[in-house]
Amino acid sequence: MKIEICAGSIESAIAANKGGADRIELCSALSEGGITPSAGIIEYVCDNLTIPVFVLIRPRTGDFHYTRADYEAMKKDILFAKRNGAKGIVTGMLNTDGTVDTCRMKDLIEMASPMEVTFHRAFDMSRNPFEALEEIINLKCHRILTSGQANNAIEGADLLSELVKIAGQRIIIMPGSGINLSNFNDLAEKTRAGEFHLSATRPFKSRMSYMKADVSMAGKNSNEFEIIQTDADTVERICDLAKLIRI
C-alpha cells in the first residue's frame, strides 16, 4: 500500500518526506482545493526531497473547464515541472457537459511523458463516473484521485469500492479527501484500494513574536498566526498503519 501526501508548502513537503510517505502531490492554496505551486517551490522541493514529487497542474480554483489561456499556462507548467525533476503531474479537464476533455488531456499526457499522470478530482465533478473511468483508462493515465464523487472519501466509500473493482489492474483508484488517522483503517478495508491520498495536517503556531491584532489577509475569520501544515508524526503513523493492511 502506498501513501501520497498532499503538500501545500515546502515545510509540508519536507514533513511528508521525513514521515515516510511514498510520494507527495505538491500544490499551493490547499484550503482552496489546491492550485499549481510557484516555480521556486517546485524547483526547491524537487531538489531537496528523496521521494517522488508530483506537481498539481491547476491554474485556478473553480471548475475544471479551462480557457485557451488557462490551457497554454498548464502546458508551460508541465514542461517546467518535467525540466526540474518532477516524477509526475496531477491534473484533469472537463468539457462543459461534464464529460472528460479527452482531446486536450491527451495532449497534456503526451507532453508530460515520461512522467506519470494522475487524473485528479475533476473526476468527482464528471457527470458519469463509470464513463469517465473508461475514458481516463483509454487516455493511459496512471491513476485517478477521487472521493467517490462525494464531499469526502468516507461519504463516497461505496462508489470508491465499486470503482476499485471495475478498474482492476487497468488503473489505480486512489481515494482522497477527509482521510485521517481515525478513519483510515475502515476506509482501507471497505474500498480495498492500494493507494491513499491525504494531507496529514495540523495547526502550527507562528514563529512571530509580534502579532498584529485585528488584521487578516484572508477575511475576518482567518488566523494569520496559525499555519496549517503536514505533521511528520501523523504521516509516520499513517504509514505504519498502511504496512499492517493486506489488500
What lies within 8 Å, CB to CB, of 215 at 6+ separation is: 224
pLDDT of residue 221: 65
pLDDT of residue 133: 99
Q: Strand 88-91 relative to strand 116-119: parallel, antiparallel, unpaired?
A: parallel
Which pLDDT band, with edges at 50, 70 and 90, does 220 fall under? low
Architecture of domain 2-244: Alpha-Beta Barrel (3.20)
User: What mean pLDDT value characterizes the chain?
Assistant: 96
**Distance between CA atoms of residues 203 and 161, nearest Å:** 32
* pTM to 2 decimal places: 0.95
User: In this structure, how many other beta carbons lie within 10 angstroms of the beta carbon of residue 110?
Assistant: 10
φ, ψ of residue 97 in degrees (nearest 5): -90, 5
Task: Kindly report whether the peptide bond that precedes residue 114 is cis, defined as omega within 30 degrees of 0.
Answer: yes
> Is residue 148 pLDDT above 70, yes or no?
yes
% of the chain beyond a pLDDT of 70? 99
> Is residue 176 pLDDT above 90, yes or no?
yes
